[in-house]
C-alpha cells in the first residue's frame, strides 16, 4: 500500500527501488563455468571429495591454499580456509577474545553490522571510532588508546561496507605503527578489494606489517564477491602458527569446510576463472558505480561520505528534519527499500546529529533504478518533518 506522500510519484516511476542488500548481481556469478568445472571434478575425484577431509590440524584444501598463497604472494602455510569470511570473523573473535584480559574491540563507525554481532556474541564490547573519507579518525583512535588498549581493531580498508571508503596508505602505515606500539591486533577484512574501478590500490595492511616488530595483522578474504557467495569460501592470512590454532578450533566444531566446495574454488583459481571473473565484474560494475556517484551528487549534493573507487557502496549522511524512524517510514511509503543506517553503528556511536546515514548499494541496480531511487530519496528528505 502506498502512503499519501507517494501520490506525487508517477506510475511509470513508482516501482520499488532496492537499496537494501549487498549481494552480487546474478550476472556477476559465473554459474555455468562453475557448474562445468564442478562436473569435471566430480568425475575425476568423487571418492576423495565425498570423504572427510584429513584430520590433524588441517588448515584447508592443500591446492586451494597453494592458489590463495600465490594470489596474495604469501606462504600458503599462512592461509586458513573457512566457510565464508563470516566464519573467519567468528573463529578469530573466539581466538582473540578467549583469554584476552580486555574484551574491548574498536571498529569503524559505521561498520559491517554482522561483524559487530559476531564479536558481541564472543563477549566483546564494541566501540566505534568515526570513519572519515580516507579511513578511521586516527586522532580519536590515539586518544582512546591512551586510556584503553583493545583486544583488536576491526577495519574494512577497501571500499568499506557500508560507507564505500578506502583507507589511505598513510593511515594504513599509522595503524600498523599503533598496533606495534600498543600491542593490539588489526583485523583487516577485504572482500571487495579486487573490485577497484579507479585509482591504484593502497598496500594491504597485512603486507605493511611484514617486518614491523610487534605489529600483528590478520587479513580476512572471501571469494563471495569475486566468484560466488554460494561456495562459502573465505580465508584468513595469518602469521605462521596461527592457522594451526584456528584448525584446532575448527576441528572441535565442524571439522572442515566442505571438501567439494574448496576443490571447486581451487579449480576456479587454477583454470584462470577467478582472474577472468574479477575483470568481468569490474567491467560490469564500473558504469553502475559512475552512474551512482553522479546521481548522488546531483540529487543529494555533498552528502556522500566519499567518492568510492570500487566495491558495491556509496553512502550519505543525509540532512533531515525528522527522526530516522519517520524518515524510513516515509522512504518506505515512496517505495524505497533501505537498511536502517543506525544499525551500522556500534552501540556507542551514531551518525552526525541532524542526519540519517544511508548505505546505497549500486552493484545490482540499473542506471534508471539508481537515479530514480536517489531522486525519490531527495524528495522524501525535503518533505519529511
Ligand atoms: C565487510 C564484509 N565482511 C564479510 C562479509 C561476508 O562475506 P562471506 O560471504 O565471505 O561470509 C561481507 C558480506 O557482505 C562483508 O561486506
* Sequence-distant (≥ 6) Cβ neighbours of residue 352 within 8 angstroms: 317
Please check whether residues 121 and 239 belong to one and the same domain: yes
Do 255 and 125 share a structural domain? yes
CATH code assigned at 339: 3.90.1150.10
Q: Are residues 35 and 48 in the same domain?
A: yes
Q: How far is the CA of 99 from the centre of ligand 1 (A)?
A: 26
Residue 299 shares a structural domain with residue 367: yes
Q: Could you read off the pLDDT tens digit of each residue along the chain, which spans 385 residues?
A: 333 333 344 444 579 999 988 999 999 999 999 999 999 999 999 999 999 998 888 899 999 999 999 999 999 999 999 999 999 999 999 999 998 888 999 999 999 999 999 999 999 999 999 999 999 999 999 999 999 999 999 999 999 999 999 999 999 999 999 999 999 999 999 999 999 999 999 999 999 999 899 999 999 999 999 999 999 999 999 999 999 999 999 999 999 999 999 999 999 999 999 999 999 999 999 999 999 999 999 999 999 999 999 999 999 999 999 999 999 999 999 999 999 999 999 999 999 999 999 999 999 999 999 999 999 999 999 987 7
Based on the fold, state whether residues 127 and 35 are members of the same structural domain.
Answer: yes
- 340 and 252 co-located in one domain: no
For residues 143 and 87, membership in a common domain is answered with yes
Kindly give, in sequence order, each residue whose CB lies less than 8 Å from that of residue 84, ignoring residues fewer than 6 positions away.
222, 224, 229, 232, 233, 234
pLDDT of residue 8: 41
Alpha helices in the chain (DSSP H): 31-49, 62-72, 84-97, 113-121, 138-147, 169-182, 205-209, 242-251, 259-270, 273-300, 324-333, 367-383
Tell whether 76 and 185 lie within a shared domain.
Answer: yes
pLDDT attached to residue 384:
79
Domain count, the chain: 2
Domain boundary among 271, 304, 339: 271
Say whether both 261 and 184 belong to one domain. yes
Q: Is 118 in the pocket of ligand 1 (CB under 6 A)?
A: no
Q: What is the pLDDT of residue 1?
A: 33
Residue 160: all three cell numbers together: 568499506
Residue 277's pLDDT is 98
Taking the C-alpha atoms of residue 282 and residue 82, their distance in angstroms, rounded to an integer, is: 25
Residues 304 and 363 in one domain: yes
Q: Using an 8 Å Cβ cutoff, are 79 and 265 in contact? A: no
Give backbone dihedrals phi and psi of 237, rounded to 5 degrees, phi first: -105, 115
Rounded Cα–Cα distance for residues 296 and 145 (Å)? 36
**With a 6 A CB cut-off, is 25 part of the ligand 1 pocket?**
no
- Residue 55 confidence (pLDDT): 82
* CATH number for the domain that contains residue 208: 3.40.640.10
Ligand 1: does its nearest atom lie under 6 Å from the Cβ of 113? no
Query: In this structure, what C-alpha cell is assigned to residue 322?
Result: 525528522
* Euclidean distance between CA atoms 313 and 364, whole angstroms: 11
Distance 85 CA to ligand 1 centre (A): 6
Cβ of 156 closer than 6 Å to ligand 1, yes or no, is yes
Bridge-based pairing state of the strands 185-189 and 216-222: parallel
As a residue count, the chain comes to: 385
- In terms of domains, do 137 and 204 share one? yes
Ligand 1 centroid vs 351 CA: distance in angstroms? 22
Q: Looking at residue 129, what is its pLDDT?
A: 98
Domain that holds residue 326: 4-29+275-383
Q: What is the grid cell recorded at 285?
A: 560494475
- Dist. CA 86 → ligand 1 center (Å): 6
Ligand 1, atom 14, residue with closest C-alpha: 22
Q: Nearest-CA neighbor of 361 among 380, 336, 382, 330?
A: 336
User: Using a 6 Å cutoff on CB, does residue 262 contact ligand 1?
Assistant: no
Residue that finishes a domain, picked among 246, 271, 296? 271
Any idea which residue has 570423504 for its cell?
51
* 370 shares its domain with 332: yes
DSSP state for residue 13 in the 8-state scheme: G
Please report, to the nearest 10 degrees, the dihedral formed by the alpha carbons of residues 224, 225, 228, 230 taken in order.
40
pLDDT of residue 5: 39
Choose the final residue of a domain: 242, 271, 300: 271
| Interatomic CA distance for residues 111 and 156, integer angstroms | 8
CA of 209 to the centre of ligand 1 (A): 23
Instruction: Please tell me what DSSP assigns to residue 53.
Output: P
Amino acid at each position: 500500500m502506498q502512503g499519501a506522500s507517494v501520490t506525487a510519484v508517477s506510475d511509470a516511476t513508482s516501482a520499488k527501488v532496492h537499496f537494501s542488500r549487498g549481494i552480487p548481481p546474478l550476472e556477476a556469478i559465473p554459474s555455468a563455468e562453475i557448474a562445468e568445472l564442478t562436473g569435471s571434478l566430480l568425475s575425476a575425484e568423487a571418492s576423495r571429495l565425498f570423504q572427510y577431509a584429513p584430520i590433524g590440524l588441517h588448515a584447508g584444501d592443500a591446492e586451494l591454499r597453494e592458489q590463495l598463497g600465490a594470489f596474495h604472494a604469501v606462504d600458503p602455510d599462512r592461509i586458513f580456509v573457512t566457510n565464508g569470511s563470516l566464519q573467519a570473523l567468528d573463529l578469530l573473535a573466539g581466538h582473540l577474545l578467549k583469554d584476552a584480559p580486555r574484551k574491548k574491540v574498536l571498529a569503524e563507525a559505521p561498520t559491517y553490522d554482522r561483524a559487530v554481532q559476531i564479536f558481541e556474541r564472543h563477549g566483546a564490547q564494541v566501540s566505534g571510532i568515526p570513519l572519515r573519507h580516507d579511513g578511521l579518525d586516527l586522532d580519536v583512535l590515539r586518544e582512546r588508546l591512551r586510556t584503553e588498549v583493545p583486544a583488536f581493531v576491526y577495519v574494512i580498508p577497501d571500499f568499506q561496507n557500508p560507507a564505500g571508503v578506502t583507507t589511505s596508505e598513510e593511515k594504513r602505515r599509522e595503524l600498523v605503527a599503533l598496533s606495534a606500539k600498543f600491542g593490539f591486533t588489526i583485523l583487516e577484512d577485504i572482500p571487495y578489494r579486487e573490485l577497484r574501478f579507479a585509482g591504484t590500490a593502497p598496500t594491504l595492511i597485512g603486507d605493511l606489517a611484514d617486518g614491523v616488530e610487534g605489529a600483528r595483522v590478520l587479513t580476512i578474504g572471501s571469494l563471495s564477491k569475486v566468484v560466488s557467495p554460494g561456495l562459502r569460501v573465505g580465508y584468513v592470512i595469518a602469521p605462521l602458527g596461527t592457522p594451526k590454532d584456528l584448525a584446532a578450533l575448527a576441528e572441535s566444531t565442524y571439522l572442515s569446510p566442505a571438501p567439494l566446495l574448496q576443490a571447486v574454488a581451487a579449480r576456479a583459481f587454477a583454470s584462470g576463472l577467478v582472474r577472468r571473473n574479477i575483470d568481468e565484474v569490474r567491467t560490469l560494475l564500473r558504469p553502475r558505480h559512475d552512474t551512482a556517484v553522479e546521481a548522488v551528487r546531483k540529487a543529494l549534493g555533498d552528502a556522500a561520505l566519499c567518492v568510492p573507487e570500487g566495491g558495491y557502496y556509496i553512502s550519505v549522511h543525509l540532512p533531515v528534519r525528522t527522526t530516522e524512524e519517520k524518515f524510513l517510514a516515509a522512504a518506505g511509503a515512496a517505495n524505497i527499500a533501505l537498511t536502517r543506517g543506525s544499525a551500522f553503528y556500534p552501540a556507542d556511536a551514531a551518525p552526525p546529529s541532524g542526519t540519517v546515514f544511508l548505505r546505497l548499494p549500486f552493484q545490482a541496480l540499473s542506471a534508471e533504478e539508481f537515479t530514480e531511487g536517489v531522486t525519490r530519496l531527495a524528495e522524501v528528505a525535503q518533505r519529511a518533518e
